[in-house]
Structure 1
Amino acid sequence: MTLAATELAFRAASVALLLVLAASLVSDFRNVLAARLGAAFALGSAAHAASYSIGAPALTSAWHAPLIALSTGNVVTFWLFTRALFDDDFRLRWWHSAIWALVAAFSFVSCLWIAPSGNVRLAVIATNLISLGFIALAVVQTVASWSADLVERRRRVRGFIVVAAALYGGLNALLQIFVGGSGGGDVANTINAGVLAFVVAAIACAMMRVDGADLFPAAAEPEPEPAPAIAPSQPVASEDAADQKLIDALMRLMADERIYRQENITIGALAGRLKIPEYRLRRLINQRLGYRNFNVFLNNHRIEEAKAALADPAQAEVPVITIAMDAGFQSLGPFNRAFKAVTGVTPTEYRRLKVNAA
């Protein structure tokens, strides 16, 4: 088999796997934002598999330029996908689409006007620096939210997905920058296509080994209330008695010591207070209390305290920001967003409703 035929086979395999993955995500989780973004990322990666070559030519055909633009814009989709995958409360904003459109448009213009005007190296470097920037954002997002994720299997597979995709995308961007406008050669392109096919197959395999309910939250799933999990009259199987004692101890820390008020409290510090391994505390909060994210668990307790304060006539003159800071929030913006996500109204509206109902 010739190098050209081998490269074509690798590209075709990557495109086929990515299209199947996108169709599967849309079919099974069409109402989940992270899955829809995952499908969009898979489609953009298919465009990359069909259009990518090491070393950019000075002239790009009219049919090739849109695929390259989609491939470049896909780094924005990758960043948004990591945010939605690791933050169940993430929502798309209009400016997210605007960023994607700007990046894709810049790549399109580079292909049809900047590179042909004699600025091939400038176009290649600028486009790939943009790619590296969004890949770095995705990696930072993964690292920042890693410890707060309570779904153990999702933590493992998401790390693999991000690391594999980021390494491939980052190395390719660096390779393009250093290669510049020179031709990459058939051997380099064949190797690249083979590596891409392997990465796509590994990611697809990793996602198939994880229950979709672990990887993606159920659409419109309400946040769990902590009270049922700690009710003393709740029947507990004898083999779960130790877990129940730990949950009772955890909830005492929440209710009596209000440990959620501490600045930058981590799940590791909380596990240390309970004298148990961190992984066990993750499992308890996730499987017994129903939370998928540690920050959501903390914020729900903070919001319950804030709700009580806002409904208290004796604290009617206390500023909302004071109540938020006393409950453990570090600023007003995150408090307002978290409060409205739980109650459906802003803190000020909640206070007014309680005063009118009194």
Structure 2
Amino acid sequence: MTPAPITLLDAALRGVLLALLLVLTLILGRDRPRLPAARAGVLLALGLCIQVIGSTPMFEEAVPRAWQSPFVAVSVGNAVLFWVFVQALFDDDFALRPVHVASWIAVAALAALNCAVVAGSASVLAPVTTAIQRAVPLVFAVLAVMAAASRWRSDLVEGRRRLRVFIVVTGAGYSLGMLAVRLASPRGQLSGPSATADAVMLLLIVAVVVWRMVRLAGSELFPAAQAPAAIPLAMPDLPPAVAEPSSPAPAPQPPMEAPADPPAPEPDPTPEPACDPAEERLADSLHHAMAVEHAYRSEDLSIATLAARLSVPEYRLRRLINQRLGHRNFNAYVNGFRLAEAMAALADSSKRELPVLTIALTAGFQSIGPFNRAFKAATGLTPTEFRRKKLAES
């Protein structure tokens, strides 16, 4: 029997979608294979490949439910992977924890059990387990949005920021939309037209992400485009304790991120246009707030609160820190000042009895864990090792 046009269209769309998902997997795995966000993205893309195959109408009709259960388990578990991916994408300090693995295993096991045993049976557990499974996409979509909403403003690269928001909004919207469709479908299965619409929506989202990642050179999607450069074990240039706000000299910046566009080795003989006076004033105000007033010591400092403190629109401050000072992430910019102060305190022989936790909290870190990770990434040593080395040299 000749396949119906809708079946051929569905197969063609799924073939293109699978190809794009594999391209996305290659991009994520190639650019930053050790980064948690890249690893979570690879797992999510591969999970979506299995979901695309398992949600094909012919597959759902022809394959026994017991054989469908692994595909259903992975498909439902993708909601957990999406939550993990969003957390890793927006959190520089993200680390995979047992709760993430346990959540995926629990969700996948529940979905597999429902598909292979409970669904269609007369068990009294069927309504309960089915309701829990159907709530999974809603719960983890909300968790993903909450994780992104708490951190999205710290990204200073506008193109990357828009892509991250697009991934969260469309991913959550797709999850909730398809949940509504399946709730309205018999036995939760998609009919021919709704299955094709499912493939079309996912194809559009993946196509935009792949296209934007290619334009953003792939790795720029992630929290840190490059591994942080190690700070020399000699004492860093610390933010001055007292500085004149009107000083014409450029403000020293913490050694956390290299400028995105380093200056050319030879000067251009063409006279440079005069600097924007408003930007110069904002740069001076920012330098005074950070180096003199030690605004970075505030635990709840954000791009929004700092902009309000300087009485400027948030976009102007974001543009200054990114384009003029060369920083891609606000938290990394602030942590540069915090680490510099902590390093000075750890190297000070008069403070040898001061606990490391006290030094970290005084510099503005909220807890010892993020401080230790940031310090080790910047120096290659733990705070205790750094203190021991510097005091031995003094």
Residue in structure 2 matched with residue 293 of structure 1 by the alignment: 329
Q: Give the conservation status (yes or no) of the 8 Å contact 1:49–1:196.
A: no
**How much has 1:329 moved relative to structure 2?**
2.6
Find the counterpart in structure 2 of residue 307 from structure 1: 343
- Relative distance call for 1:220 and 1:206 in structure 2 (3 A) is closer
Q: Does the 8 A contact of 2:28 with 2:218 survive in 1?
A: no
**Do structure 1's residue 188 and structure 2's residue 191 form an aligned pair?**
no
Structure 1 counterpart of 2:141: 135
1:320 aligns with 2:324: no
Q: Distance in 1 between matches of 2:92 and 2:219?
A: 12
Counterpart for residue 173 of structure 1: 179
Provide the residue aligned with 1:34 in structure 2.
37
Deviations 1:23-74 (A, max 9, x none): 33334444544333323222211211222379x99x9434422222222222
Instruction: For 1:88 and 1:212, locate their aligned partners in 2 and report how far apart those are by CA, in whole Å.
Output: 17
Note the C-alpha offset of 1:7.
3.1
Residue 179 of structure 1, CA deviation: 4.7
Counterpart in 1 of 2:216? 210
- Report the counterpart of residue 261 of structure 1 in structure 2: 297
C-alpha contact (below 8 Å) 2:345/2:359 kept by paired residues: yes
Unaligned ranges ≥5, structure 1: none
- Give the equivalent residue in structure 2 for 1:49: 52
Do residues 152 (structure 1) and 158 (structure 2) align? yes
1:81 alignment partner in structure 2? 85
Q: Whose helix proportion is higher, 1 or 2?
A: 1
**d(CA) in 1 for partners of 2:32, 2:359:** 38
Indicate how the Cα distance of structure 1 residues 211 and 247 shifts in structure 2: closer, same or farther if over 3 A, else same. Answer: farther
Please say if 1:110 is aligned against 2:114: yes
Residue 298 and residue 101 in structure 1: after superposition, are their counterparts in 2 closer, same or farther (change >3 A)?
A: same
| Partner SS for 2:65 | coil
Q: Which amino acid aligns with 1:277?
A: P
Q: Is the 8 A contact 1:153 1:214 kept in 2?
A: no
The verdict on how the C-alpha distance between 1:179 and 1:330 changes in structure 2, with shifts beyond 3 A counting, is same
Indicate which of 14, 20, 29 corresponds to 2:23.
Answer: 20
| 2:134 partner letter | N
Superposition deviation, residue 248 in structure 1: 4.3
Q: Is the 8 A contact 2:44 2:78 kept in 1?
A: yes
Structure 1 pair 318–117 and aligned structure 2 pair: CA distance change class (3 A): same
CA gap of 1:183–1:111, structure 2 versus 1, over 3 A, is closer
Corresponding residue number in structure 2 for 1:64: 68
> What secondary structure is seen at the aligned counterpart in 2 of 1:230?
coil
8 Å Cα contact 2:31/2:219 also seen in 1: no
Deviation readout 1:53-100 (Å, 9 max, x if unpaired): 79x99x943442222222222222212221222234433346544443
Letter in 1 for 2:9: T
Letter in 2 for 1:294: F
Report SS of the residue matched to 2:366. Answer: coil
Tell me what 1:222 maps to. 229
How many residue pairs match? The answer is: 355
Q: Which moved more, 1:277-286 or 1:142-151?
A: 277-286
| Structure 2 CA distance for partners of 1:114 and 1:290, relative to 1, 3 Å | farther
Report the TM-score when normalising by structure 2.
0.76
Contact 1:125 / 1:177 at 8 angstroms: preserved in 2? Answer: no
- Sort the Cα spacing of 1:61 and 1:350 in 2 relative to 1 into closer, same or farther, 3 A: same
C-alpha separation between the residues in 2 aligned to 1:219 and 1:188? 42
Calculate the TM-score normalised by the size of structure 1. Answer: 0.83
Q: Which runs of 5+ in 2 are unaligned?
A: 240-249, 254-262
Check whether the contact 1:148–1:294 (CA below 8 A) recurs between aligned residues: yes
Matched residue SS, 2:187:
coil
Cα distance between partner residues in 2 of 1:43 and 1:131:
18
Q: Verify: 1:4 aligned to 2:10, yes or no.
A: no
1:46/1:270 Cα in 2 relative to 1: closer, same or farther (>3 Å)? same
Equivalent-residue separation in structure 1 for 2:79 and 2:189 (angstroms): 23
- How far did residue 102 of structure 1 move? 3.4
| Partner SS, residue 181 of structure 1 | helix
**What is the rounded CA distance, in whole Å, between the counterparts of 1:274 and 1:182 in structure 2?**
54
Letter matched to residue 112 of structure 2: F
Q: Work out the percentage of aligned pairs sharing the same amino acid.
A: 42
More divergent stretch after superposition (157-166 vs 235-244): 235-244
Q: Which residue of 2 aligns with 1:100?
A: 104
Say what the alpha-carbon RMSD is for the aligned residues.
3.4
Structure-2 separation of matches of 1:74 and 1:227: 45
Offset of residue 284 of structure 1: 2.4
The change in CA–CA distance for 1:15 and 1:127 in structure 2 (over 3 A counts) is: same
| Structure 1 Cα separation of the partners of residues 134 and 375 of structure 2 | 40
Q: Deviations over 1:258-294 (max 9, x none)?
A: 1112342221232344444322322222233332221
| Aligned counterpart, 2:243 | none
